[in-house]
């Protein structure tokens, strides 16, 4: 039998924890945080969902296999490191560009955020692959 308290708490906490996970991800380049810790928070959110409901509903909520997340994250992290090779710099040298949002606002976008995003996806995929595989065995 499913606990009404746990299911209500999960429905309320999931969006907040995923938003907090994204905050930690984007904050992490210059301050404590980053892809690894953000990925752990996001993974814990989906693990809480699997404990509340079941593994199949968590996989349906994800809509993507955790193993696919690992592959995409590895490709993204590797690709962000290879960008510097095309400009004649060493592997993993940060490259920066500008995106003009409006006439007054310019965003600086660099390869380190793509590397962090790749780490984020790898951590989510790896942790969920391990934990959900163990949970399916019950």
Q: pLDDT tens digits, residue range 68-82?
A: 999 999 999 999 999
Quote the CA–CA distance of 19 and 9 in Å, as a whole number: 16
Quote the CA–CA distance of 90 and 108 in Å, as a whole number: 21
pTM, whole model, 2 decimals? 0.90
Burial of 63-101, coded b for 16+ CB within 10 Å and e otherwise, reads eeebeebbebbeebbeebbebbeeeeeeebeeeeeeeee
Output the pLDDT for position 107.
80
Output the pLDDT for position 93.
85
Task: Yes or no: say if 39 and 124 are a contact pair by the CB < 8 Å rule.
Answer: yes
Domain spans of the chain, in order of start: 4-136
Q: Please give the share of the chain, as a percent, with pLDDT higher than 70.
A: 99
Quote the CA–CA distance of 49 and 11 in Å, as a whole number: 8
Stretch 81-95: mean pLDDT: 88
Place of tokens 């790898």: 122
Is 126 or 88 the better-scoring residue by pLDDT? 126
Output the pLDDT for position 138.
60
Asked whether the predicted pLDDT for residue 103 surpasses 80, the reply is no
| Tens digits of residue pLDDT in 40-69 | 999 999 999 999 999 999 999 999 999 999
Stretch 85-94: mean pLDDT: 87
């Amino acid at each position: 039998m499913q606990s009404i308290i746990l299911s209500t708490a999960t429905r309320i906490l999931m969006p907040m924890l995923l938003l907090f996970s994204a905050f930690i991800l984007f904050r992490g380049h210059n301050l404590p945080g980053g892809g690894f810790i953000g990925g752990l928070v996001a993974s814990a959110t989906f693990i809480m969902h699997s404990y509340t409901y079941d593994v199949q509903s968590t996989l349906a909520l994800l809509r993507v296999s955790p193993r696919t997340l690992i592959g995409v994250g590895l490709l993204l992290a590797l690709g962000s490191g290879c960008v510097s090779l095309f400009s004649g710099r060493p592997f993993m040298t940060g490259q920066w560009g500008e995106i003009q949002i409006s006439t007054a606002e310019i965003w600086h976008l660099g390869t380190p955020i793509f590397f962090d995003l790749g780490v984020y996806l790898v951590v989510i995929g790896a942790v969920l692959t391990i934990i959900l595989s163990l949970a399916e065995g019950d």
